[in-house]
Chains A and B, each alone.
Chain A
């Protein structure tokens, strides 16, 4: 168990809807990352927060947004969902925003858009 908790485990929703994915990082970790894993794209970085502030953005669509709260948990909001958004969404955390801090991943949320 990595200590990173993601909820829900599975989510099935229709196109056009909006969902929120939740992540609680490991105790003591300040940095939270969101990744999307789809069959054709592999693991793709979406966005990173460090101690409540956005630190880096990757291939995140404008329909997606995220935030990190004062208690360090993070939420990823996906809106106007399309079929192509179906994927496994991982949250990861690390102690610091440093190349020496390996990321520890949660078990992911599997999103299915029908």
Chain B
């Protein structure tokens, strides 16, 4: 059975801290892994990772994929209260193309 597992489930930090969110997966015919940020409404796209070992970066956020060990991490440095959200990891399988298989998410809370 395909699995996408995120950890931790919940994380509370203070502004300025650095956090690392984890996503491990076991899926057949893996193609890509995506990270989304969900505040109160729509999940918003952060990164798509297809190749192993290549870091993607956007401001204070960065992510990397390890296809050998079947996991990805999302790093957020110098966290701000606006980073508080649920971070969702999803994978795409080659056989089902655009369809996303989501993990349950990590709830990040950043205190001022």
Contact = CB atoms under 8 A, between A and B. Distances in A.
A102 B99 contact: no
B97 interface: yes
A108 B42 contact: yes
Interface in A81-114: 90, 94, 96-108
Interface residues of B, number: 25
Contacts of A2: 42, 44
Contacts of B36: 105
Nearest to B40: A107
A105 B102 contact: no
Interface residues of A, number: 27
A107 B43 CA distance: 8
A33 B99 contact: yes
Contacts of A44: 102
B41 A100 contact: no
B43 A90 contact: yes
A33 B98 contact: yes
A17 to B, nearest CB: 25
A102 B43 contact: no
Contacts of B90: 43
Contacts of B100: 33, 35, 43, 45, 103
B99 A100 contact: no
A33 B96 CA distance: 12
A107 B41 contact: yes
A38 B30 CA distance: 25
B32 A99 contact: yes
Interface of A: 2, 4, 31, 33, 35, 42-45, 48, 56, 58, 90, 94, 96-108
Interface of B: 31-32, 34, 36, 41-45, 48, 50, 88, 90, 92, 94, 96-105
- Complex A-B, nearest 4 residue pairs according to Cβ-Cβ distance, in ascending order: A99-B31, A105-B42, A43-B102, A107-B41
